[in-house]
Structure 1
Amino acid sequence: MNGLYALKPWFARRLTLLRRRLIRSDISPNSVTFAGLLCAGAAAASFAMVPAPWAVVPVVVFLTARLACANLDGSIARETGKQTRLGSLLNEIGDRAADLLVILGFLPHISLPLVLSALLASSAPSWISIAGAAAGVRRINGGPMGKTERCLVAAVAAASGWYAPAALVVIVGSVVTAGVRLFQVAVLCNRLDGESGRRGEGDREGGNGVGDSGRGGEGRDHDPLSGRL
């Protein structure tokens, strides 16, 4: 269930000219990550300071720029050979912080407990994906309430002024997404464990020992730089 994440290749193609220009200008991937964080902060400030429906224009502009930066930092890193573990770390922190900043923009309009609930719930899908990557399986992305969907809900709230319903949609959708991702990660982990067990049996029968068989899936499916990707 990829949701709007399925549009990522289409969106990436729309950014081709901008990506090439940034590469020619020697803009670092980390700078693009930081720019995305600034765009998220600007979207949150627009929520807080501009009333609906006028807020929808700056919010859509800044959230689109935030999504563009989230796409560009990884593609620039790959094309320029600048993938680093530090870049992967900064990418993950920047992505999580940008999501939280956008939701904080709801604070002047709805109660603090509702905002905190939305903050906590919206983080859960990412925790599951990161935990799965740490366990050695591929990174799980997509909806039904991923990063793109949260931006869409935020844009609707900015246009309508329905901040509390939007926060509830984020909470419920994020909890469902966390459950879907947890199920997918569990299936992948069981599959890799089964493959490792079968390889271990084969090694013992062939007299090769079991040295690293328990980690057989890890190197194949988990790239330490996957956060930047």
Structure 2
Amino acid sequence: MASIYDIKPAFQNLLRPLTRGLAAAGVTANQVTVLATALSLATGTAIALFPAARWPLLVMPGFLFLRMALNAIDGMLAREHGQKSRLGALLNECGDAISDTALYLPLALVPGFDPRLIAIIVALALVTEIAGLAALLTGSSRRYDGPMGKSDRAFVFGCLSLAAGLGLPLAPWLTPVLGIIIVLLILTTARRIRRALGEAGPPS
């Protein structure tokens, strides 16, 4: 099953001139990572503080796109401009987990969203990333496979937030959509585990 992650190379190509300019200006990958996390916390806090207001939900889609851009930029700064570091790797993984939780968990407070399903989704999203990281323990590469990775979650929740922010009726279809997300997260975790084991090969 296809994932939005598959278009990442094309997205990076669009951002490469900006990334070169940031590197020339002395901006570091770690600074970009921290900025993305801080903005995620601010956006999630706005939704949590004003769950019945529309404006935080309308901000969410644009910020999720910005977050994807910042995530691509920090990776290119690290790989292509000699900024790889152990601290950067830790900030990147921890920042993603913090950002996902900060952005999506407050939706449990928004009218129309089932808080139990949102909590399950946030927990399963963390499990998918743990599965991707745990692949390193088997000798495999970091796994990003699956139909509900970070970029896919951003796209889906951006659309849901936009619909809620515009005041569209959510009742007939929102709960089934959240249920589908849960199923896709489980499939994503399973695929990452299977691909990691396949790449690692049989145990010695």
Both proteins in one fold, TM over 0.5 = yes
Shift of residue 142 of structure 1?
Answer: 3.4
- TM-score, with normalisation over the residues of structure 1? 0.75
2:193 aligned partner: 182
Letter in 2 for 1:115: I
Query: Is the aligned partner of 1:158 residue 2:164?
Result: no
Pick from 107, 118, 123: which aligns with 2:121? Answer: 118
- Kept in 2: contact 1:4–1:142 (CA 8 A): no
CA distance in 2, matches of 1:47, 1:10: 31
Does structure 1 residue 30 correspond to structure 2 residue 41? no
Q: Residue type of the partner of 1:26?
A: G
Decide whether aligned partners of structure 1 residues 102 and 169 sit closer, same or farther in structure 2, where only a CA change above 3 A counts. Answer: farther
Give the match's secondary structure for 1:139: coil
1:169 equivalenced with 2:180 (yes/no): yes
Task: Name the aligned partner's letter for residue 41 of structure 1.
Answer: L
Residues 140 and 56 of structure 1: CA distance in aligned 2, closer, same or farther (over 3 Å): same
Shift of 1:8: 0.2
Deviation for aligned residue 1:54 = 5.3
C-alpha contact 2:132 2:144 (8 A) present in aligned 1:
yes
User: 1:17 and 1:59 mapped to 2: Cα distance?
Assistant: 26
What is the correspondence of 1:81-160 to structure 2 with a 5 Å cutoff? 81-109=82-110, 110-160=113-163
Q: Which deviates more from structure 2 when the two are superposed, residues 99-108 or residues 34-43? A: 34-43
Distance in 1 separating the partners of 2:159 and 2:80 = 35
Alpha-carbon contact 1:154-1:166 (below 8 Å) kept: no
Q: Bigger radius of gyration, 1 or 2?
A: 1
Query: Can you give the 5+ residue segments of structure 2 that lack an aligned partner in the other structure?
Result: 165-169
Letter in 2 for 1:114: L
Asked if structure 1 preserves the Cα contact closer than 8 Å seen for 2:30 and 2:91, the reply is yes
> Gaps (5+ residues) in structure 1?
194-213, 215-229
For the residue of structure 2 that corresponds to 1:106, the secondary structure is helix
Task: Give 2:78's aligned residue.
Answer: 77
State the alpha-carbon separation in 1 of the partners of residues 32 and 76 from structure 2: 11
How far off is 1:38 after superposition?
2.3
Identity of aligned residues (%): 27
**Distance in 2, Cα, partners of 1:167 & 1:114:** 7
- Cα root mean square deviation, aligned: 2.3
Question: What is the CA–CA distance in structure 2 between the aligned matches of 1:82 and 1:160, rounded to whole Å?
Answer: 39
Give the CA deviation at 1:18: 1.7
SS for the counterpart of 1:15 is: helix
Normalised by the size of structure 2, how large is the TM-score?
Answer: 0.83
